[in-house]
Structure 1
Amino acid sequence: MGPSEWAVPGQVGVGPWPGGRPGWPRDERYDPELLEHGDARNVVDAYRYWRRDAVAADLARRAHPFHVAIENFGHDHNIGTVVRTANAFAAAGVHIVGRKRWNRRGAMVTDRYLRVHHHGDVAALADFADAHGLAVVAVDNTPGAARIETARLPRDCMLLFGQEGPGVTGEARAAAALTVSIAQFGSTRSINAGVAAGIAMHTWIRQHADLNTAW
């Protein structure tokens, strides 16, 4: 049996390790506090009872070679959602451009398990991308953008998103090797930035990820 079979209906997460201390696993990745009191965190079964740093280290080992960046010049409330989705798709890192402070509520504490970088401006972000061999791909509904549904995303890349409303800044578009847009068929000019980020990340997953490594 595993953690999923130990869950009690209506209970968040899992309770203490069955059988008590004598049956605890000896692997150092496990957290004695969680083994004793239970694990109510929002983590997959494979990480139940693991220490936070052990989860983060394993995610870093399994990370895909794409990063996610979002501009934060207006304190966008979508950033937390972007971070949570980046965690779900095992992005190698998340980059906040502009304001260092951002609303973490939507991240659901997933920012504790992956590397979150901060850059004061787009130039600093571009320098990071260049130093790490990442092609910057701006995601924005602008004239001349390639359709993400038919474009081939670079394997080693940084997906860059703008803020809700104004979208990607001109400086960011100038720094991008490629700009892609998401096909829309309704009356609204743009879709939610958090939703757009999820679509773009999943496009990368469909093109490059080994689905046999998914949970």
Structure 2
Amino acid sequence: MILALYCPDIAQNAGTCLRTGACFGVPVHIVEPAGFPVGNAAFRRAGMDYVDAVEWVRHPSFEAFNGWRRSEGRRLVLFTTRGASSYATFRFQPDDVLLFGRESAGVPDAVHACADARLVIPLRPGMRSLNVAVSAGIALAEGLRQTDAFPPLPASP
């Protein structure tokens, strides 16, 4: 499974996603352009030393990212407030790419059109959305749970 961020606006959120990827052993792909300079320094505040423990990949554009994804035969699972299906009823696969849009605007229609699935995390009425890093953590945990891909627990003392 891969966690992907589409043109993230906030370095701290991207850093938190990198930390989540490090803790779960999941690569993180960043689709540029971002709203901040992409690099280790931009992620240090939220990601701390976890940034050194995660595999992360930069893509210069959505076209480059989508070409890579298609060449790998991976499903694109978009998390969006415009989704029609709940993530809780979706059947994840080990090679899925979980894509999250930018904090300010989500993803454009052309990206929606490329997605193999468009999922929503249900919220109480009147609530617009969750923080992108929180959403990514929820979605990734469910995907890993379904595919039995959580890292193993450390041995008991």
What TM-score comes out, normalization by structure 2 length? 0.84
Q: Percent identity?
A: 28
- Distance in 2, matches of 1:139 and 1:69, equals 10
Deviations 1:150-178 (A, max 9, x none): 11112211110012132233232122111
Q: 1:210 to 1:175 in 2, by over 3 A?
A: closer
- Does residue 74 of structure 1 match 2:9? yes
Contact 1:138 1:168 in 2 (8 A): no
- Distance in 1, matches of 2:11 and 2:95, equals 26
- Distance in 2, matches of 1:164 and 1:97, equals 13
Amino acid at match of 1:152: R
Contact 1:76 1:164 in 2 (8 A): no
Q: SS of the residue aligned with 2:12?
A: coil
Q: SS of the residue aligned with 1:118?
A: strand
Q: 1:153 to 1:211 in 2, by over 3 A?
A: closer
- Distance in 2, matches of 1:170 and 1:212, equals 35
- Structure 1 unaligned regions, length at least 5: 1-65
- Structure 2 unaligned regions, length at least 5: none
Q: 5 Å matches for 1:37-186?
A: 66-72=1-7, 74-91=9-26, 93-99=27-33, 101-102=37-38, 103-104=42-43, 105-142=45-82, 144-186=83-125
Q: SS of the residue aligned with 1:183?
A: coil
Q: 1:211 to 1:121 in 2, by over 3 A?
A: closer
Shift of 1:197: 0.3
Shift of 1:75: 4.6
Amino acid at match of 1:123: E
Q: 1:73 to 1:184 in 2, by over 3 A?
A: closer
Shift of 1:186: 4.4
1:195 matched residue in structure 2? 134
Q: 1:97 to 1:152 in 2, by over 3 A?
A: same
What TM-score comes out, normalization by structure 1 length? 0.63
Deviations 1:62-117 (A, max 9, x none): xxxx11110225355311111111111111x2111113624302111222122211
